[in-house]
Structure 1
Amino acid sequence: MAENRLFQMVYLLLEKGSITAPQLANYFEVSVRTIYRDIDILSAAGIPVYTTPGKGGGISLQENFVLNKSLISEAEQEQILMALQGIRIVDVENTNGLLAKLSSVFQKKNVNWIEVDFSDWVKKEANESVFNTLKSAIFQNKKISFLYFSGKGESINRLVEPLKLVFKSKDWFLYGYCCLREKNRLFKLTRIKELELTSENFTRFVPPQIFEGVEKISEKTIPVTLAFDKEMSFRVYDEFSDGVTCNDDDSFLVKTHLPHNEGLFSYLFSFGDKVEVISPQSIRDELQIRLKKIQDKYIT
């Protein structure tokens, strides 16, 4: 208990700057004599704690003590605090407390200069239940079972060894070993339903970077040329960084590579009548077939 009190005392001094012995005694529910004994122990351990007598005085630490002793550079401290700002969306309660503590340790006052929110405008609240269950399963090395809705329109029960939570291309994914497919797979969190934590343990290697090296996950793409009306300028600049040509009438010609899967057509339809596929011809033909099916649904 004494060791824990000493640590908390150092943290309080870092946070408050200066605090009186009676205030510390009241906080820890010990005598003032015990507090002064603790101060002697801290001083003997090389921690520069000192007292200032008189009105307005108190117990303090030498200014910038932790920062000067820290092995973490100024840039690294800022990176840590920025990373904590980013993960608050999935663990607000715990992260806020940790952010406050590290801000005091690093002696950073302005830690609210950035706010990161991975959720979209429509679905503001993240699915904390799914996220936290997956996190627990990963930490405990427990297999999970769930009903998964794939991009092919299938709904299949899966038994998975969860390895890592991944944020990629505006969405959260679970990376794990699928016992059904007998290989590592990515599962989009929003498509995971009826999630359950099993009692089965597993042991499996977790790659440090799943999008690099041997474990790299690739997606087949095709070259596509698109013509956009000028009204789509905001999306063109939002979604394409290269291969963009602005025409004299403010329309756009975009040459890019897009995933060759079912999502390609959903993506193209999201532009409505403000885009035309110039090439390849196979995509133009498939779009005509799909448009005909849509049109048939509205013929009465």
Structure 2
Amino acid sequence: MKLERLISIIYKLLNHDVLSASMLAEEFQVSQRTIYRDIDVICAAGFPVVSYQGTNGGYGMMDGYKMDKSLLGSYDVNSLITVLRSLSTVFEDERAQGTIERLQTIGPEHHVTSLSVDLETRRTEPDALRHLRTAITRRNIVRFDYINAKNECTTRDMEPLRLHFKYRNWYIYGFCRTRRDYREFRLSRLMNLFVTQETFQPHQEVPKKAALSNQAQLEDVVIRVGTEALAEAMDQFHQVDKQFHADGSMTMRIPVYQPLEARWLWTILLGFGSGAEVLEPPALREILKEQLQNALKLYEDV
């Protein structure tokens, strides 16, 4: 613990002009006397720490002193800093912030940021990500209510293993004790999260997620998109075959696993309104037609 504190103090001094002993003591939850001893140890190790007197006094590194920058190039350093900043904001992770400070000491002094990462969390419970990450680190069982794709609500007990960010959403993966198997849950459908005090031991082997056995299980969904829905359709299906037509419309060919059961796909297609029409498969056209008719019934008396 002392060594970790000493290393953190060194990097803080490298990234700040002057830091007071009281400020360092408060951050590391130690006494100012301990900070004085730490500074003595850092000086003895060969780091040129300078003491500044006065009201705004404290400690800092000698002007011009920098860490060796040969470990990583400036591009690598700045890319890592950008990603870590986003993670530290999402998780309020002090360790990530500490890593950023260490990286800044070997980064260029003057750099214009060319990369920005925003890990959107509006679709999740505000504290769910932080609570789940803590549970993963401490190996605590978590309990939550979950709405599945069939709109059924169940209560799950889970051994959380890792968080994923994909398809613009956060997911938690782990061993579901309720189903006695590994499962992945989308955080936007998760409610009433509770981190228990019960801990678990990881299983010897974490099975890989079952993949589609072959591409033959994918079926093409062909849609014609009008000019008023081009941008939205390209946002939703940006890596598919597209064919533009003289009138400005576009045909998309979207490979989907079991499209007649893919309710997520129905939602997207219906969201285009009159801006898109399903051409194939015919059975999907009938499903969407039925969905629209059911929706209209809700407004018959309006």
Q: Quick check: TM above 0.5? A: yes
Structure 1 CA distance for aligned equivalents of residues 113 and 168 of structure 2:
23
What's the offset of the Cα at 1:184?
Answer: 1.1
Give me the TM-score of the superposition, normalised by structure 1.
Answer: 0.75
Residues 128-170 of structure 1: per-residue CA shift (max 9 Å, x gap):
3211221121111121111111111100111111111111101
What's the offset of the Cα at 1:113?
Answer: 4.7
1:229 corresponds to: 226
Pairing 1:148–2:146 present:
yes
1:181 corresponds to: 179
Contact 2:218–2:256 under 8 Å retained in 1: yes
- Which secondary structure state, in structure 1, belongs to the residue aligned with residue 105 of structure 2? helix
Give me the TM-score of the superposition, normalised by structure 2.
Answer: 0.75
2:274 corresponds to: 273
Contact 1:87–1:95 under 8 Å retained in 2: no
Structure 2 CA distance for aligned equivalents of residues 34 and 95 of structure 1:
23
Determine what percentage of the aligned residue pairs are the same residue.
21
Q: List runs of 5+ in structure 2 lacking aligned partners.
A: 26-31, 51-59
Instruction: Report the CA distance shift for 1:92/1:254 in structure 2 as closer, same or farther (over 3 A).
Output: same
- Which secondary structure state, in structure 1, belongs to the residue aligned with residue 240 of structure 2? coil
Once the two structures are superposed, the pairs formed by residues 1-300 of structure 1 within 5 Å of their partners are 7=7, 10-16=10-16, 41-43=44-46, 49=48, 60=62, 63-68=65-70, 71-92=71-92, 94=94, 97-98=97-98, 101-109=101-109, 110=111, 113-119=114-120, 123=122, 127-205=125-203, 214-218=208-212, 221-238=218-235, 239-259=237-257, 260=259, 261-300=262-301
Contact 2:14–2:66 under 8 Å retained in 1: no
Counterpart code for 1:169:
Y
Counterpart code for 1:88:
S
Larger radius of gyration: 1
1:55 corresponds to: none
Counterpart code for 2:197:
S
Contact 1:222–1:257 under 8 Å retained in 2: yes
Residues 8-51 of structure 1: per-residue CA shift (max 9 Å, x gap):
6633542246x79xx88998867xx98996576223xxx5x398
What's the offset of the Cα at 1:199?
Answer: 3.0
- Which secondary structure state, in structure 2, belongs to the residue aligned with residue 128 of structure 1? coil
Structure 1 CA distance for aligned equivalents of residues 98 and 269 of structure 2:
43
- Which secondary structure state, in structure 2, belongs to the residue aligned with residue 127 of structure 1? coil
Structure 1 CA distance for aligned equivalents of residues 227 and 119 of structure 2:
29
Over aligned residues, Cα RMSD in angstroms? 3.8
Contact 1:227–1:275 under 8 Å retained in 2: yes
Contact 2:87–2:93 under 8 Å retained in 1: no
2:28 corresponds to: none
Structure 1 CA distance for aligned equivalents of residues 291 and 229 of structure 2:
22
Instruction: Report the CA distance shift for 1:145/1:116 in structure 2 as closer, same or farther (over 3 A).
Output: same
Matched residue count = 276
Residues 78-115 of structure 1: per-residue CA shift (max 9 Å, x gap):
33212203313412463784365134322444485544
Contact 1:142–1:200 under 8 Å retained in 2: yes
Q: List runs of 5+ in structure 1 lacking aligned partners.
A: 52-57
What's the offset of the Cα at 1:224?
Answer: 0.6
Contact 1:103–1:111 under 8 Å retained in 2: no
- Which secondary structure state, in structure 1, belongs to the residue aligned with residue 295 of structure 2? helix
What's the offset of the Cα at 1:217?
Answer: 4.9
